[in-house]
Every structure is written in C-alpha cells, then in structure tokens.
Homo-oligomer: A and B are copies of this chain.
C-alpha cells in the first residue's frame, strides 16, 4: 500500500482519479467485510464525491460543528460504503473502524447513515427525503442565519420518482436557493431493474428546469467535467441539479452496468479481483477547502415570551389559542413556523403577521413542510409545522425518519375528529393520535381549552424530540384560569368528590362532553370524577391509578378511531402498573359524513349522552 501526501483543492485530475479508486476499493472492502451493503451504488458515485470532497465541499472534518461549514447529505443513504470511505479518506475514521464495525451491532457505521455520526446531519435511507430536508437546511442558512455555507446532496436516480423530490426542487426553485446543489447519480439501474428514465439525462434536465432549478448534465466519470459542473453550481446564482450520467458498479468489470447487483456485497473472491482491478488499496488523505472560522452558532436570546391569556368562560377554539401563542413564541428568535397553505384555518398565520421573515409557506406540500422543518431543526431552529391533522398523514414517513434523526420539532394538527362537522371525513383527523403516539420518543398533547393550549404550545418549544399538539376546530369555553400550569405528563381533575363512582376521561372536545355528562349524572345522583388527559404521551399514570383505585371504573372518550389513541394509551398505562379497573372505551366508529358537531359526536358514539350512558352502566355494574 502506498501512503501518499495530502490531497487539497488544487489536486490534479490524475490524483482525483486515484482518490476515486480508493473510495471504490474501500466501499467494496467495507461491504464485503460486513456481508451486506450496497457497493455498486457506491461505485457509480465515487468520482462525483472525489471531486466534491477535494475541491468543493468546504468542511473541516475535525470540526463538524462549525456553523459555517458546508453540508453534505447522502439522500441515497444506501451508498453508505462510499460515505464511510470518504470519512476514511478525510481522516475522520480509520480503516479498522470501517472494516470491522460497518453494519455491526452497537457501532456507529450503520447500514444507512444516521446522526450518531458527527458528520451526518440526517438519517437517510427512505428515498426522496434527504434532498427535501436539505432544502430546509439551505433555506435556514441563507434566509435565517445569513451564512454562506452550501448544501450538497447526493441523490439516486431511482428516488426521483418520489413526488417529494419534486416538492423539494419546486421549493429550491421558488426560493432561488443558490446555496443548494443536488447531484443525481444517474446510474440507470435501480434495485430490481432499470430505472424509469434510465440514461435519459435530458428528461431529467427538462424536469429540473421546469421546476425552476438549473440543470447541468455531465458524464459523472469525467472528473474535469464534474469539477466544472460543481464550480458552476457553487457560483451561487441558482439552485442547481447536476445530472450525472454514471455506471452502476463502475470500475469493476464483472458488475459494471449489470442487473442483479443492487444491495449485494461482492463475494470475497470477486472483491479481491475488484480491488486489484481498481489498483489496490491506497491511503490517500484529503483536506478539501476549509470553511471560514465559524462565527458563533445561533444564540437564543433569553426568551421574553408572553403567551396570550384567556379568561374562564369565554369561548375560544384551541386552534385560535395555538395561533396566538405561536405568534407570541416568535419573541424567541429560534422559533420558526411552517404552513401548508392552510394558515388561515390553523391560525398559524398569526405568526406570519408578527414574524414574516420566520414564516415559511410550503403551499400544499405537507412532506416538504415537514422536511423543511427538519432541515431547520438541523440548523438549531425550533420549527412549528402546522396543517390539518388529517393531512399530516401525508408526511408520516418524514416524521418517522425525523425520529430516527433525533430531530426536535413541533407539529400541530388542527381540525381533528368528527367534531369538524360539515366538511366531512376527508378533512377529519381520526388517525393522528395513533400515528403520532407510535413515533419514537414523541410527546403528544391534546388541550381542551385555550389556556391549556397556550401553556402546552409554549412548553413544546423546550421539549426534546418530536412533539405533537392536537387542536380542535370549534370554540369551547375556557376552563382554566391564566395562571394554571400544565406540566407535560400531567392531567387535570375537574370534577371529583368522595363518592365518585366512575371516572370520565376526556381530552379536547370530549372533555367538554365529559363535563356535560358529569353534570347530568350528578343531577341523577351518580357522582363522577372528570379527568382532562391533556398529555396523551407521556400519560399521567398516577392520576389514572388514583382514579381507578378511588372510583373503580373509567369511561374513556375520544374523538379518534378506537385504535392507537387515548383509550389504548390509558389501557397500556394501567396494564403496566398492574391496575385493572373496568374501562369502557368510547371512540369514533363508523364512517362519518357531514353534519353539525353535535350530530356527528352523537352518531360516533362519543357524545355526552353516550358517555353518561356508559358511566351509568359501569356504576350499576360496580355498585
């Protein structure tokens, strides 16, 4: 093995070729040693990455936190052998780590890159997402931080069939993100066969240009051509997509441009021949262009947030309280708000009026809204992304991946449940609690009144991970005075007495139904407790256990499908504590249509009548 001197920005093409071959060799070696991985998808992009890391990516591998450094996002995360080979070439990891830990348990060089690695911003591996989140990083850098870093994204060609890629390029184009460059590795072969567009680079270019970005078509193995394209991309005048025609498996004749080699390590004998064909192992080191010595990272001014105050008795929709609180939270310079063209319904628009430069309109593109939030979170901002709860399902995969990336962000879903009324089932969020509870490490909040909404919306700004606030369309009475506190993981007991025979558990709109049911039951001589379970995850297990112990039975009512929501959260908490009260679970069943809130709550079986009837049945059974 030859040890050679450091490669820098003025490295000659011949040496760049050596570097590319080294990246190939190491990608082959790493995946063969691991027994799995994607060497051929790495080989196609090695020339692109050799040029990028040596001549264009302004990055100090010893200081990945430098806020002025460029970002590199591997949207084609399966090409992790190439990325990790780059880490080795940069001196960030050693050969031993690459060869003995890749894809092994308990190690950081995972099958697809995650931010456990200090040089990785985002977990990728669900295609079409890295490029979308990168738009958020670029937008934050240019418009919020006014920094000069660039964002470079390596995309696969297969992933361009994801609509999310076009949502992303549309936004890159619309915002004229001159600091954004995506490189599409057009290697013609997908996982199971040829890609849709194969090597029709002109078709890629037409799409890119139609979506408002600059397209540069190059031979992805012509190092000088690649260098010229990246130089042009770096001129900062336009969001750029380099459409690079490449060969999958390039450099290894036995697999190059052959089907059947996606996601397969080369068998050991073939790997040996491949390494020989690629010129053997090398130990080139790269020190590419360096970023400026970082100006300090975003500093958060001590917040002077004054959330709105609401007086008990006034009728305020929680979505309205959310909007007003969000606007107040804007006093924190790290808070940003994202909308998917429904801000006047969700009331996120209030933020736009108060802080227009930190409000980002995604138009109707929920995936890109969440992706932008993720990208901004990577840069240290606290995003609040809001749309109808039903339409957040569109971004489910992005939310899932954000959790893998350990992103901190706040989501708010409005127009939840059958409560919304006349618009009908397409607009009713009835699955959102199941979706958001199942997100790893999430917090799920569901306030019933404006005061709780203000408190919880504010609390979300300091919660780690992904937090979700569920709001309601209609206006309901404020229940709590402005000084009331709402710890995450808490609950409120709104009615209680020594003789309570049942506990009614509600949240959001059903809490108001529970209160009405309790009043009616009290008139009938059936005293009941009422619990406001505003924190759905984590849950106030103590209060539930106390209620179970003291009243013996619970009715849980939720404006959500029966599966995965509040009822099952309560049952889980009780089972985990080995408590076994009788629980009647009322949830929205059947296919709702249009109607008034009252009609629809009644039809769904979660109205005050239904709650009171269930409580009576339980009280009779346990009396």
Contacts and interface: CB of A to CB of B under 8 A. Distances in A.
B341 A192 contact: yes
Copies of this protein, total: 2
B210 A103 contact: no
Contacts of A439: 431
Nearest to A422: B103
Contact of A126 (B116, B161, B391, B400): B391
A489 interface: no
A527 to B, nearest CB: 22
Interface stretch (A49-57, A92-100, A220-228, A573-581): A573-581
B594 A110 contact: yes
B440 A159 contact: no
A549 interface: no
A6 interface: no
A107 B594 contact: yes
A585 B125 CA distance: 29
A116 B591 CA distance: 11
A280 interface: no
Most chain-B Cβ atoms within 10 A of its Cβ — which of A345, A425, A439?
A425
Contacts of A164: 163
A537 interface: yes
Contacts of A426: 77, 112, 114, 123-126, 401, 404
A144 interface: no
A522 interface: no
Given A34-B422, A600-B105, A591 B406 contact: yes
A435 interface: yes
A564 interface: yes
A437 B564 CA distance: 8
A417 interface: no
A211 interface: yes
Contact of A440 (B210, B561, B565, B585): B561
A564 B34 CA distance: 34
Contact of A158 (B37, B114, B364, B562): B364
A77 B585 CA distance: 33
Interface in A1-53: 34-37
Contacts of A123: 425-426
A342 B105 contact: no
A494 interface: no
Given A341-B192, A363-B161, A397-B391, A434 B111 contact: no
A442 B116 CA distance: 37
A62 interface: no
Interface stretch (A82-90, A166-174, A329-337, A477-485): A166-174
Interface in A342-365: 342-345, 349, 362-365
Contacts of A517: none
Given A363-B161, A363-B196, A594 B434 contact: no
Contacts of A564: 434, 437-438, 563-564, 568
Interface string A116-155: 1000000111111000000000000000000000000000
A440 B161 CA distance: 29
B367 A163 contact: yes
Interface residues of A, number: 112
A427 B397 CA distance: 11
A39 to B, nearest CB: 14
Contact of A435 (B105, B163, B434): B434
A603 B105 contact: yes
A191 interface: yes
Interface in A428-455: 430-431, 434-435, 437-441
A593 B106 contact: yes
Nearest to A553: B578
Interface string A302-345: 00000000000000000000000000000000000001011111
Contacts of A298: none
A424 B109 CA distance: 10
A349 B193 CA distance: 11
Most chain-B Cβ atoms within 10 A of its Cβ — which of A363, A390, A578?
A363
29 contacts: A37-B422, A77-B426, A106-B599, A107-B593, A111-B424, A112-B423, A112-B425, A114-B426, A124-B426, A161-B170, A161-B365, A162-B163, A163-B167, A170-B196, A191-B342, A192-B339, A206-B206, A206-B209, A207-B207, A390-B397, A396-B397, A403-B591, A406-B591, A434-B434, A434-B564, A435-B438, A441-B591, A575-B585, A580-B580
Given A161-B364, A572-B585, 10 more contacts: A105-B600, A107-B593, A112-B427, A114-B425, A163-B163, A191-B341, A203-B212, A438-B563, A563-B569, A568-B572
Q: Which 4 A-B pairs rank lowest in CB-CB distance, beginning with the nearest?
A: A163-B163, A125-B426, A105-B595, A564-B564
